[in-house]
Amino acid sequence: MDTYQIASRMDKLDASGIRKVFDLAAKMKDPINLSIGQPDFDVPENLKQVAMDAIAAGQNRYTQTQGTADLRAAIVKRCETEFGWTDAPDRPMLVTSGVSGGLLLAVLATVNPGDEVVIADPYFVMYTHLIHLAGGVPVLVDTYPDFQLTAERIAPHITDRTRMVILNTPSNPTGTVMPASELQAIADLCRQHKLLVLSDEIYNDFCYDGEFASFANYYEDTLLLRGFSKSHAMTGWRVGWATGPAAILEKMTMLQQYTFVCAPSMAQAAAAVAMETPIDDHVASFARRRDMVFDALGDWGLAKPGGAFYAFVPAPGGNATEFVTRAIDNNVLVIPGSVFSAKDTHFRISFATAEDKLAQGLDILKSLA
């Protein structure tokens, strides 16, 4: 056949701009790669051993759709400790194929065609595409220049078609951490309008200027997503978890039966141990590199990132695509802001790379200003 029918729902999806840069990097000779959104450290040795032991012990089959008993018990323990949920053992917990898998399940389970979903601009690239896939309408809230998603900024965008608000703290691509006071204000607003809130907390372990505050502490209708890809470098292992309203978790679990089936069994074994495996040294290392970026580019008008391992930098001259093209011509890979935003005024740096490489890249970027 010369032509094939492609579903019309695919018309609103585009290949990820980040993946395009990955493909470009593969063709370059030793680029200074400040584009990759994954840790530069390896999976801790104890977790590798747990996974290998699980494989050797024959734990290579399907698990229950909702996850292994050991991992779900570890998640319950974390929720009891962090949130004080005395009823955590009775709450639904779903092990997902990474937070990305959880996002897909959550959006498909909750968003009808025409429903509006409020998200910050800039946003994680997956949000708009998944909302479109479900037939929903992404509603962008401009958070420039400080990148704080506030109740005051959200309120004008709420209509009778609003179904959900998505929060991402710490944020990809900006590194913004939402303060507890603002989380409380957003909770009050969403409670008033009876809105579901999806809180994507994949970077919760990476906060550099204070304690992390989870939205789940402030709002009962929170659909909470977390994972291990960033905290323990398990990006290729595809394991995360979700908890939230029982009716939604039930449908997400049902949907997982017909999509991902279950997260990889050996990855679940390692994830249960990861819940008790500290990463303090890595967090401190990222904090140093955050400071390197801000010291180098802060006078460009950069909003200092408080978490994750990204900075969203104003492009000299105001056109990010043009500046990123010049950076790539000088062997430095960064991501134009238009990948994450309706605007093309900033570019994203990932500082999840060796300090010497980061210093080289920052020097080159400064030379292009």
Over the stretch 252-307, which tens digit does the pLDDT of each residue have? 999 999 999 999 999 999 999 999 999 999 999 999 999 999 999 999 999 999 99
Q: Is the pLDDT of residue 21 over 70?
A: no
Give the pLDDT mean for 220-241: 96
- Residues contacting 55, CB < 8 A, separation 6+: 266
Give the pLDDT mean for 60-84: 96
Q: Is the pLDDT of residue 174 over 80?
A: yes
The confidence score (pLDDT) of residue 16 equals 61
Q: Is the pLDDT of residue 34 over 90?
A: yes
Over the stretch 177-230, which tens digit does the pLDDT of each residue have? 999 999 999 999 999 999 999 999 999 999 999 999 999 999 999 999 999 999
d(CA 13, CA 111) in angstroms, rounded, equals 17
pLDDT band at 30 (very low <50, low <70, confident <90, very high): confident
Over the stretch 334-354, which tens digit does the pLDDT of each residue have? 999 999 999 999 999 999 999
pLDDT band at 312 (very low <50, low <70, confident <90, very high): very high
**Residue type at 108 in one-letter notation:** L
d(CA 171, CA 341) in angstroms, rounded, equals 13
Q: How many CB atoms lie within 10 A of CB 2?
A: 3
Look up the pTM and report it.
0.94
- What domains lie within the chain, and their CATH numbers? 8-42+279-368 (3.90.1150.10), 46-274 (3.40.640.10)
d(CA 257, CA 63) in angstroms, rounded, equals 11
Q: Is the pLDDT of residue 67 over 90?
A: yes
The confidence score (pLDDT) of residue 279 equals 96
d(CA 278, CA 276) in angstroms, rounded, equals 6
d(CA 235, CA 38) in angstroms, rounded, equals 7
CA 120 to chain centroid: 13
The confidence score (pLDDT) of residue 160 equals 97
